[in-house]
Amino acid sequence: MTDASALPGQPRGGAIDGTGTARAVCVLAPNPSPMTLDGTNTWIVAEPDSPLAVVVDPGPLDEGHLRQVIDTVERSGRRVGLTLLTHGHWDHAEGAARFAELTGTAVRALDPALRLGDEGLAAGDVVTTGGLELRVVPTPGHTSDSLSFHLPADGAVLTGDTVLGRGTTMVAHPDGRLSEYLDSLRRLRSLTVDDGVRTVLPGHGPVLDDAQGAVEYYLAHRASRLAQVETAVEAGHRTPGEVVAHVYADVDRSLWPAAELSVRAQLEYLEEHGLV
């Protein structure tokens, strides 16, 4: 992740937790860090008149946070009907088993190891709990199991770590692959062009009110970084560490380990395409 203060996408001001759209409310987990930004966004999604809510990414194993999510659902006059995971990183999924225990719900995810219950998630699936419509969009690249959830009624998409509310995300090599990540960004761009998606509900950071602008920025950023890595290799910087020091010199050093994962993914991509 980088701290790109001028990220297009119109980051929404004010508190990050609270209303994201008519159907989505964020409860911010208390796990801020350079990698998680303000913390993990746990999303509660429900139809306005439904007694059931879907919770996306319960977050870390923090009892206070998990109970706050449940309390927020119950204060709205609902109960949790289902838990979904965008991917398996600890800051999104570590608390899922405990949350399922507290709520008596199934956990659906792409990775079978993360599921609790009989059903997983796959491309083209539509979640309809409580009358809600959430369409499963495969967005691998940050991790191999990354998913996004299209919320057509609100013109929104929940992106996990694929698109953040501030800065950019890493490609977590070797599980994450740049070629897949670029395809995922193009898939999200098609949602903004063809399916009326205007709003990004990210896994970290503020809501973005210009989804197309955000995705276009991500694509341009990746192209720029890839060109910088290629130039660095041509200049004699051979190891991932050397490339990071050269290309990411303007980035906080605490983020260099994450940057190195992305560089490894970029080097793999360049090798696959015969560019280095």
CA distance 44 to 22: 11
- Quote the distance between the C-alpha of residue 5 and its chain's center: 19
- For β-strands 134-138 and 126-127, DSSP reports them as antiparallel
Q: How many CB atoms lie within 10 A of CB 238?
A: 12
Reduced to 3 states (helix: H, G, I; strand: E, B; else coil), residue 30 is: coil
Task: Answer for the pair 137, 191: CB distance below 8 angstroms, yes or no.
Answer: yes
Task: Answer for the pair 84, 127: CB distance below 8 angstroms, yes or no.
Answer: yes
Question: Active-site residue among 57, 91, 161, 175?
Answer: 91
CA distance 135 to 124: 7
Task: Give me the amino acid identity at 186.
Answer: R
- Quote the distance between the C-alpha of residue 139 and its chain's center: 9
Q: Helix H segments across the chain? A: 63-75, 90-93, 96-103, 178-194, 211-234, 240-247, 256-272
Name 29's Cβ contacts closer than 8 Å, sequence gap at least 6. Answer: 39, 40, 41, 42, 59, 60, 62, 65, 91
CA distance 14 to 276: 45
Catalytic residue at 91? yes
Residues with catalytic function: 91
